[in-house]
Chain A
Amino acid sequence: MAKFTDLYIDTVADTPQRIAIDLTEQDQTAHWHIHLANNAQAVVLYDQTAGSNVALDEHLQVSLGENATLCLLIQHALQPCSTINQTMSVTMGADSHLTSGIITQGGKHVDYSATATFDATGAHADFFGVSKITDKNSVNFNIHANHSTPNSSSNQTFRSIVYDTAISNHNSRVTVGRAAKGTLTHQLSQHILLSKRASGNAKPELDILTDDVQCNHGATIGQLSDEARFYLQARGLSKTEAEALLLNAFLQDSLDQMAPEPIRQWLKPI
């Protein structure tokens, strides 16, 4: 299949759709669609690998029909010096359900933005962002859930591990319009910084125009628990093994939620 081919799904798919794109310097801009008809269901597993000097500007439009369910997971394995700007805009149909996850590592700079517009009632979206950032690299997650109709809900969860002099930005925004009564939203940003000059930044924003809602957010920035690390070492694990285990545990929750078995098999180690 050619790269960035539009996807139209109008059935309940029983196996995941796999897309694997190996990006080259020729891939500079891309525009494509994923559309799910009413009542359709699909899992799309999208692998992006990139050699050096890739600079991609990708725009993906996702639209979900009534009662459609989509799980869209993007996995990056990027070489240094590649830059990816991914912008996704999602239109949620009534009672539709979206799970959108991005797992990114490597790459000089990744800017991942998603805007979900809740135009009809009863829709729900879960956004997950997981990143491991090293060297002088940077990753920005920018998600905006825009609720304008009643009784929809969204969750945004970001977890990042930052090494060396890398920079991580979690920009998470929820807008709730006057008519959007009964909206429920949650935003969570978590960072673990592993070196003296790593940066972790979070801006969880709320813009609420009506009272009958429940919106909350949390952000934490911290370290691995010394107590937990000591416990593991006392059980015979080396310091490196203990840290790796704890970092894994930190990311586990997000990975489990966005990719339950058997999709889990598809995920590469982080």
Chain B
Amino acid sequence: MSNFEQFANQPYQYGFTSNIETDAFPPGLDESVIRAISEKKQEPAFMLEYRLKAFRHWQTMREPTWSAVDYPAIDFQAISYYAAPKKKEVLNSMDDVDPELKRTFEKLGIPLTEQKRLANVAMDAIFDSVSVATTFKEKLMEKGVIFCPISEAVQKYPDLVEQYLGSVVPHTDNFYAALNSAVFSDGSFVYVPKDTVCPMELSTYFRINTQDSGQFERTLIIADTNSSVSYLEGCTAPAFDTNQLHAAVVELVALDNAEIKYSTVQNWYAGDPKTGAGGIYNFVTKRGKCQGKRSKISWTQVETGSAITWKYPSCVLIGDESVGEFYSVALTNHKQQADTGTKMIHVGKNTTSTIISKGISVGESDNVYRGLVQVNASADGARNFTQCDSMLIGDQCSAKTFPDIQTRNPSATVEHEASTSKIGDDQLFYCQQRGMTMEQTINMIVGGFCQSVFKQLPMEFASEATQLLNLKLENSVG
């Protein structure tokens, strides 16, 4: 078999910027910036207090250095902490949305107008950390489902927000969570009432447009007793030559018998393929609390973009018989770095967790899986199954696996398997003998490698994920 040759990758097709009038703070961060953010959003007092408490705590913290990712120091004073498209006072309908904004989302393949939208998917579009449009709000309200920007929820449903915000990821949790709690500008808020199956897929699309702005989304999803909801997060950003920080916090709460399915297809700008310059730093804290008995939270992620991905969507299994799941495909190419994985913390009785992680390293990239399975002394009958597989393509990339299994309960059953593989020369030859090109073969084999994860994605997005993977692999091995 011939050696793999590398030739130019297809350029990142979402790298364009949009010409939208934007309201932006000058760079810098101090208490006055926090107050200004809160005032811009007309927040009630409890929200400002929460931000200030978080900010003061952040000032006592130091950036974590334990990860395997390597990046130049971030100057937190050189970031602008608020950027939003100037918009009309009240948005009564899609017609009120800035046409240039609508065009931007069309170009991204995310239609905002309801005629063209994906059937059965409600969408919240976030531009530069501010929600600009939410489709199907009224239809969802008929069922009692609240789906709105968190900035709106803070004003309309303050009790709910105050009760749950920070209950899963406290502001003291880590450096970036503290920063986010102080300066978050927007994100999605979802509340599904008791005994309700949310009638549509909910989706939020994040688009960063302003250079040198930090993105601090905050998402909070609450599924009340016997309810269920499926949520998809999609993301892209323009190709700037400086790095941008994306430090989001996502909190999920599932009460008795409730189920939350959270899927992410991430395609942030990964940086210049040769130098690695530019690209998004994706440092995210995502955690789900299975609070109720028999509650279930599933994380499914397809990570293909961003210069650095640093995230561990996790589940804390408190309710008896609760279930946590993590399915992940992380593809790194060129000079990308990923340090991702999950934490499953078993607390209640007879809890179950499943982890399936597929890492694909190409080019000169570094791909790290870090997974913690912790079975507390109280977690009688806990069961975990983990499968983490790495596929390396070429001999300039790396794959590292750092699982950490800690058990304190004798009735727990933990099974962990990991393997590394490459695309076998004999597999390549077989497919080529059947008339498939090298590219078709690699897409097919890598797709097969990721199958067990892709089939967890909501149907509408499974094919998008496959296409994204093929796009990212295109012309990268030859």
Contact = CB atoms under 8 A, between A and B. Distances in A.
Do A and B have CB atoms closer than 8 angstroms in the complex? yes
Interface of A: 178, 181, 191, 193-223
Nearest to A221: B414
Q: Helix, strand, loop or mixed for chain B's interface?
A: strand
A216 B420 contact: yes
B418 interface: yes
25 contacts: A196-B377, A197-B377, A197-B408, A198-B408, A198-B410, A200-B405, A201-B405, A202-B405, A203-B402, A204-B418, A206-B401, A207-B398, A208-B398, A208-B399, A211-B397, A213-B420, A216-B417, A217-B401, A218-B418, A219-B403, A219-B415, A220-B414, A221-B412, A221-B413, A222-B412
Given A214-B421, A216-B420, A221 B390 contact: no
Contacts, number: 109
B416 A193 contact: no
Contacts of A202: 403, 405, 416
Contact of B422 (A195, A196, A211): A211
Contacts of B413: 220-223
B421 A219 contact: no
B419 interface: yes
Contact of B420 (A198, A205, A214, A222): A214
A211 B428 CA distance: 15
Q: Helix, strand, loop or mixed for chain A's interface?
A: strand
B417 A217 contact: yes
B406 A205 contact: no
Interface in B375-411: 375, 377, 390, 392-411
A222 B412 CA distance: 6
Contact of A218 (B392, B395, B417): B417
Contacts of A223: 410-411, 413
Contacts of A208: 390, 392, 398-400, 420
- Which 3 pairs between the two chains have the least Cβ-Cβ distance? A211-B392, A216-B419, A193-B410
B186 to A, nearest CB: 39
B409 A193 contact: yes
A209 B410 CA distance: 37
A195 B295 CA distance: 28
Contacts of B404: 201, 203
B406 A220 contact: no
Contacts of B377: 196-197
B26 to A, nearest CB: 44
